[in-house]
Chain A
Amino acid sequence: MAGKGMNLTLKIWRQSDANSPGKMVDYKVTDISEHMSFLEMMDVLNEQLVSKGEDPVAFDHDCREGICGMCSMYINGEAHGPDRGVTTCQLHMRMFNDGDTIYIEPWRAAAFPVIKDLVVDRTAFDRIMNAGGFVSVNTSGNTQDANALPIPKADADEAFDAATCIGCGACVATCKNASAMLFVSAKVSQLALLPQGKVEAKERVLNMVDQMDKEGFGNCTVTGACEVECPKGISLTNIARMNQEFLKASITADK
């Protein structure tokens, strides 16, 4: 493929640390194969920068197979780029054309401050999970057989769909209000739909929404952008379910 690849101009957000101002910087990459993933193209750029003695572009990545939720780039105005149902690591360079200019920015949200270049601090999501995104189970060794509790297939499927959320934050990055409701609603739904999750359902939704608000995420205005850009296709229905759960819990709350 040598000599037949794409030549691209990259406009990348560079920021040396959380407290320094950042700016968009132009780079050129040449001979990029259409079969490369977007992150491999970034690797090529970083090799160039390292060989020139420059600071490579910092970006999050881990599994590179669309399941860990680490990669997080806002590419040409869209979270995870122009393709649908993929994370940045699953985005192929065949989605671009020779001579293209590609904008690459970090997720932008007050609750996701930039750490360096394209890396943002997403621990706000962890704190929301800590607030209630779990079931308290007995781990003493006498765990019940999973099949002991009959669960309707439709509920199991919906719970599984919600559980496919990888917590990448594309919903927040995409939402014009930087709202985290798709993420939180997926985490609320995956447990609210199952009998194991119903015991703590009330505290869960109240505490998770409370933490979400404390983190400074915006309010959902049902634009639906999050659902479109979500690499796992998490449905907006989860937000409606969370609202239901929240209303029920609020009305029947003890305090």
Chain B
Amino acid sequence: MANTGSSSTSIGRKLIMAASGLFLVIFLLQHFLINFTSVIDEKTFNEISHFMGTNVLIQFVMQPILIAGVIIHFVMGFILEMKNTKARNVKYAMNKPSANSSWMSRNMIYTGAVILGFLGLHFYDFWVPEIDLKYVQGLEGSPTRYFHELQHRFEDPVRVAIYCVSFVLLALHLMHGFGAAFQSVGVTNKRYLTGLQKFGKIFAIVVPLGFIFIALFHHLNQ
């Protein structure tokens, strides 16, 4: 009997990659919307952040699911890259990939690796201190600390620059990944697929650009 849709089949791996990617896209959107409130109103941002940071369902169900989603996406990405490299053991002396495919589609592993590195920094900046405060030291923390922590992190121009460059690479990653995910999960309706791919391109520009705006806004409004 042939393998069915598990992670041991090529299509199974594609589906896992696409599903985890789309899940992360949804997370990214909610993260962006919450962060964006920080440029509109400090109080609203603090309230939402406090809710997110203290709600049991978000902390102990959604957060582990999110972390699992991130791990599955990048581990599967590296597994796919290794298998794909093995599938062409001798390289061409002369190759012209730009004639038939986009730079974004060919370099997902590199844009993804940069995003992964950025996630490490991002976790170090925001997530680790929060976990340390709440679950290691066992302190409650001020419910209005979030906004000031955010502003404090964006004081350093080097850090702001790293964030901005990472968001550009996130945009490039999404530019291909968003539409490709729908192709992978089997959308054959050309009208829907074209619409989703166009929406994906807009999403890939607007959301990272929004994150860049938020970082610059707080850097310039210290």
A-side interface residues toward B, CB under 8 Å?
11, 13, 24, 74, 76-78, 82, 103, 105, 108-111, 174, 176-179, 181, 203, 206-207, 209-210, 212-213, 216-225, 228-229, 236-237, 239-244, 246-247, 249-251, 253, 255
Pairwise interchain contact B94-A177, C-beta atoms closer than 8 A: no
Pairwise interchain contact A224-B101, C-beta atoms closer than 8 A: yes
Given contacts A210-B9, A222-B183, 5 further A-B contacts (CB under 8 A): A109-B87, A177-B84, A203-B2, A222-B105, A253-B4
Chain A contacts of B99 at CB under 8 A? Answer: 77-78, 82, 228
Pairwise interchain contact B14-A241, C-beta atoms closer than 8 A: no
Q: Which 7 A-B pairs have the closest CB atoms?
A: A77-B96, A250-B5, A218-B87, A244-B186, A210-B2, A103-B94, A177-B84
Pairwise interchain contact B1-A255, C-beta atoms closer than 8 A: yes
Pairwise interchain contact A237-B190, C-beta atoms closer than 8 A: yes
Assembly CA distance A249 to B5 (angstroms)? 8
Pairwise interchain contact A176-B14, C-beta atoms closer than 8 A: no
Assembly CA distance A175 to B95 (angstroms)? 11
Can you spell out 25 A-B residue pairs with CB atoms less than 8 angstroms apart? A74-B92, A103-B93, A105-B94, A178-B88, A206-B2, A206-B4, A207-B2, A210-B2, A212-B10, A217-B87, A218-B84, A218-B86, A218-B88, A220-B10, A222-B105, A223-B97, A224-B101, A224-B105, A225-B101, A229-B100, A236-B183, A247-B11, A247-B186, A250-B12, A253-B1
User: Quick one: which of B1, B80, B91 contacts A221, CB cutoff 8 A?
Assistant: B80
Closest residue of A by beta carbon distance from B98: A77
Q: A77-B94, A77-B96 are in contact. Are A206 and B102 (CB under 8 A)?
A: no
The yes or no answer to B221 lying at the interface (CB within 8 A) is no
Pairwise interchain contact B96-A240, C-beta atoms closer than 8 A: no
Scoring B residues 178 to 214 as 1 if CB is less than 8 Å from chain A, else 0, what string do you get?
A: 0110011111101001000000000000000000000
Q: A77-B92, A225-B100, A240-B186 are in contact. Are A209 and B86 (CB under 8 A)?
A: no
Pairwise interchain contact A247-B101, C-beta atoms closer than 8 A: no
Chain A contacts of B9 at CB under 8 A? Answer: 209-210, 213, 246
The yes or no answer to B89 lying at the interface (CB within 8 A) is yes
User: Quick one: which of B10, B89, B108, B190 contacts A213, CB cutoff 8 A?
Assistant: B10
Assembly CA distance A11 to B187 (angstroms)? 42
Pairwise interchain contact A76-B96, C-beta atoms closer than 8 A: yes
Pairwise interchain contact A251-B183, C-beta atoms closer than 8 A: no
| Chain B: minimal CB distance from A161 (Å) | 13
User: Quick one: which of B6, B101, B176 contacts A228, CB cutoff 8 A?
Assistant: B101
Pairwise interchain contact A224-B100, C-beta atoms closer than 8 A: yes
| Chain A: minimal CB distance from B88 (Å) | 4
Pairwise interchain contact B185-A13, C-beta atoms closer than 8 A: no
Pairwise interchain contact A110-B106, C-beta atoms closer than 8 A: no
Closest residue of A by beta carbon distance from B180: A222
| Chain B: minimal CB distance from A16 (Å) | 16
Pairwise interchain contact A219-B93, C-beta atoms closer than 8 A: no
Assembly CA distance A220 to B80 (angstroms)? 9
Closest residue of B by beta carbon distance from A248: B186
Chain B contacts of A216 at CB under 8 A? Answer: 86-87
Pairwise interchain contact B88-A177, C-beta atoms closer than 8 A: yes
Pairwise interchain contact B96-A247, C-beta atoms closer than 8 A: no
Chain A contacts of B102 at CB under 8 A? Answer: 223-224
Chain B contacts of A228 at CB under 8 A? Answer: 99-101
Pairwise interchain contact B88-A242, C-beta atoms closer than 8 A: no
User: Quick one: which of A105, A110, A206, A209 contacts B92, CB cutoff 8 A?
Assistant: A105
